[in-house]
Amino acid sequence: MRKLASIQRIKAVMPIPDADRLELVQVLGWKCVGGKGEFHVGDLVVYFEIDSFLPVCDEFEFLRKNSYRSNEFMGEGFRLKTMKFRGEISQGLCLGIDKLPKLQGMTLEEGMDVTEILGVREWEMPERAGSGGTMIGDRPGYIPKTDETRIQSAPELLNEFKGLPYYITTKMDGSSHSIGVRDGEISFTGHNFTYKDDGKSAFVEHVKAAGIPEKMKEYADVHGLSTLVLQGEWCGEGIQKNRLKLKKPEWFVFTAKMDDKRTDLATLRKICEYVGCQMVPVEEEGDDLLAKYPDEAALLTRAEGIGYNGTTREGIVIRPVVPVHSYTLSGPLSMKVINNKYLMKNDD
């Protein structure tokens, strides 16, 4: 699960030109704006990532003017997003531990996850709840959630790519949807839920019309698999404002899993070709990521520019050509780098 709120240490404090009351502080790979003199290098603080949805309570009331949101899906709260102060990008929020009553008296250590303790949830757009059709339960356990970790949240991931052949794909702006086949039974899921095959899901109707679920069953049978999972981004009209400007909806597959193991790039391509689905665009393949992109700044620059269909790229996803276990993630090595210029334009 994503650490939306965690105990972290201030790595650097930097001035902001022409700002008398503000300065820039760095936590992990993130930089955010704080009050001048409020934080010092080495301080333990609570860091809230962007896309955090903080509960309505006294300690967060100072966020009301710029961050208050309310809708039927999420309820009331304060949503943290990418912002700009005096020309500096601020991503997230640092608060002193003494300002959070629920943490008082606790033994706190760097890296500790306090998301649930503070009642923080991940912000999700209301349209995601209705994009799949009739919800009939949570995702099956063999179909994992598709969240990727941002490089700023775990800068140490970059070193784990050292010497590994890698590939970079376009981060598609849509809604996460998956298809799973387990012992011949098919499941259709969104980011969090399983959807009923009742004719009400545009995604289910789309993939069925293309024959993808049946082809997946066939592929699993031919290769003697108990489970086969394809996960991708469902994009088009009515989904995330159709920022890819698609004339018709499309499902872009980015992960294949066979018997609970992520496939390599070559196998992913073969499966997509066999079942007749579109894979996310592969922008680049190389032998050593660090040799070309030695730090976060280089990767953030790489994430900028024009992406699919001539639109502003949301970002990129980076993976080893052959899956490798990440000790940082306790799972397959992978990371995403979001285009900050895209966030400033579209992070609503």
Residue 131 has pLDDT above 70, yes or no: no
pLDDT bracket for residue 2 (50, 70, 90): confident
Q: How far apart are CA 338 and CA 309, in angstroms?
A: 18
Residues 6+ apart with CB under 8 A from 210: 276, 277
Q: Count Cβ atoms within 10 A of the Cβ of residue 166 and give its class: 0-12 exposed, 13-18 middle, 19 or more buried.
A: buried
Does 93 score more than 50 pLDDT? yes
pLDDT digits (tens, 9 = 90+) for 256-310: 999 999 999 999 999 999 999 999 999 999 999 999 999 999 999 999 999 899 9
pLDDT tens, position by position, 206-246: 999 999 999 999 999 999 999 999 999 999 888 878 889 99
Measure the CA–CA gap between 5 and 8, rounded to whole angstroms.
Answer: 9
Q: Tell me, what amino acid is at 82?
A: T
Q: Take residue 219 and report the two structure tokens written for it.
A: 């592929």
What confidence tier does 179 reach under pLDDT thresholds 50, 70, 90? very high
- State what percent of residues in the chain have pLDDT above 70: 97
CA distance 263 to 220: 14
pLDDT tier at 348 (50, 70, 90 boundaries)? Answer: low
Q: What is the pLDDT of residue 125?
A: 61
Structure tokens at 128: 């995601």
C-alpha Rg value of the chain to the nearest Å = 21
pLDDT, mean over the chain: 92
Please state the rounded mean pLDDT for residues 5-17: 94
Lowest pLDDT segment from 15-19, 109-113, 267-271, 272-276: 15-19
Helix axes 212-222, 202-209, angle to 10 degrees: 60
**Residue 130 pLDDT > 60:** no
Q: Where are the domains of the chain?
A: 5-123, 127-346
Q: In terms of Cα–Cα distance, which of 214, 231, 211 is closest to 222?
A: 214
Q: Report the CATH fold assignment for 127-346.
A: D-amino Acid Aminotransferase; Chain A, domain 1 (3.30.470)
pLDDT digits (tens, 9 = 90+) for 22-32: 899 999 999 99
Q: Report the C-alpha gap between 308 and 82 in whole angstroms.
A: 23
For 39-174, where are the E strands, in sequence order?
Answer: 44-48, 52-54, 68-71, 75-79, 83-85, 88-90, 93-96, 121-122, 135-138, 166-170
Give the tens place of pLDDT for each residue, 55-78.
999 999 999 998 999 988 889 999
